[in-house]
Amino acid sequence: MCRPLFSHPFRLFFLCVGLYGVLVVLAWMFYLFGPHVLPLGWSPLHWHSHEMLFGLISAAIAGFILTAVCNWTGAAPLKGNKLMLLGGLWLAGRIAFWLAGWLPLWLVMLLDVVFLPALGLLLLRVLIAHGNTRNLLLGGIILALASANILMHIGFITGATSWLKHGEMLALNLISLIMAVIGGRIIPMFTGNWLRNHMATSQPLVHPLLDKACLLSLALLIPADILGQQALTGALALLAFALNAGRWLGWKGWHTWPEPLLWILHVGYGWLVISLLLKGLASFDLVPPSASLHALGTGAMGTLVLGVMTRVALGHTGRPLQLPHFAWLIYAAISLAALCRVSAALGWIDYRIGLMLTATGWCIAFALFVVLYWPILSRPRVDGRAG
């Protein structure tokens, strides 16, 4: 029998996300405000964005998607040596990036690019074996995300900044699409279940055509960004904003304020909506482009990652869906981080103070997750079942 930490993908990868979330931001702040330049090999800005996207977020995607696929198909979870191997591939990429100043660039690329294709192919294999065609899109998106990683590596090896930017932007758009796909399934479902027990007269509104339009508008941003036509990108971003805002409002998240495990998911998706508005405005030079990037990264990604992890870890270890004591501070800290980072990008607060507050809130949120959820994730299920 394998140890609890290696009995289900969410256990291992969620703890990796919590630990790495603290480490990678501390390293970035050390570079920005410390006395020494980190010997990272890459340009520090792109090293930071790469590790947030392909280090932190890829682990979060793995933890959630490999857990969800068991519910979708009835397949047994990846565990034991196979899970350790997949986790080892992720860890090898992280070690390579921290040693990128000393390792050959081809070796850094080789060690780093293996994880996402392995994850995507593993997901597709399970889906195909169980005839679950509905979720094949997610496997394809993960493989496309792997190609974005390769683009960033090509950019650094060749010195062509355009490749770095294309890889980064492709990753941001693909992760936005993943959040829209998964968020559109779990947020109204969880909200509906809760409202049925607490407010029988109110239910979230779900419109299949609107859902498809939301996803299509986000998908169209991918070629628009590649073409580099600002007016087209701006128009599509504003369209995506309008569609996703309507979708988000239809879920009636304001009714869930008594339940933190629910309203945090609505807040996270709300940041995705705000990022699309800011992206549209930035395309017409009305706001700085970094405002959209950080509304998406710190706001949507940071909030949804923590929101999903804090909920999934409870439900899949047989515990009641009740936030542990003091865990509300996780949500307060990540919300502070998002507000400060976007405000600093917009020039509403001092830039250095904004960054310091952002880093502090971010690190508190992820550190608290590790401290409060380590006992949950590293111990057997409380109901005695396997997993």
Mean pLDDT by runs of 10 across the 387 residues of the chain is 85 98 93 72 86 97 97 94 97 94 92 97 96 94 97 93 94 98 96 88 91 97 93 97 98 94 98 98 96 98 98 95 95 98 97 96 98 95 82
Please answer whether residues 17 and 60 qualify as being in contact, where contact means their C-beta atoms are separated by less than 8 angstroms: yes
pLDDT at 39: 59
- The whole-angstrom separation of Cα 109 and Cα 265 is 34
| Token pair belonging to 187 | 């947020």
Which are the contacts of 233, defined by CB distance < 8 A and separation ≥ 6? 221, 224, 225, 279, 283
| Token pair belonging to 57 | 């977020």
Q: How many residues does the chain have?
A: 387
Of the CATH numbers 1.10.540.10, 1.20.210.10, 2.60.40.650, 3.30.2130.30, which one belongs to the domain with range 4-378?
A: 1.20.210.10
Cα–Cα separations (whole angstroms), residue 319 to 76, 186, 228, 385? 20, 19, 48, 12
pLDDT at 38: 65
- The whole-angstrom separation of Cα 122 and Cα 146 is 13
Single out the residue of 64, 144, 125, 51 nearest to residue 90, CA to CA.
Answer: 51
| Burial class of residue 367 in the structure, from the number of CB atoms within 10 Å of its CB (0-12 exposed, 13-18 middle, 19+ buried) | middle
Q: Which long-range contacts (CB under 8 A, 24 or more apart) does 128-134 make?
A: 129/73, 129/75, 130/72, 130/73, 130/74, 130/75, 132/69, 132/72, 132/73, 134/72
pLDDT at 200: 67
Cα–Cα separations (whole angstroms), residue 379 to 6, 52, 63, 197? 10, 28, 17, 30
Which are the contacts of 378, defined by CB distance < 8 A and separation ≥ 6? 4, 5, 11, 15
Please answer whether residues 127 and 142 qualify as being in contact, where contact means their C-beta atoms are separated by less than 8 angstroms: no
pLDDT at 37: 65
Q: What is the DSSP annotation of 272-300?
A: HHHHHHHHHHHHTTSS-HHHHHHIIIIII
Which ranges of the chain would DSSP assign to H, the alpha helix? 9-33, 44-50, 58-73, 80-98, 105-112, 115-129, 136-158, 161-198, 208-227, 230-250, 260-283, 289-294, 302-315, 328-346, 351-378
Domains of the chain, by residue range, sit at: 4-378
- The whole-angstrom separation of Cα 261 and Cα 241 is 25
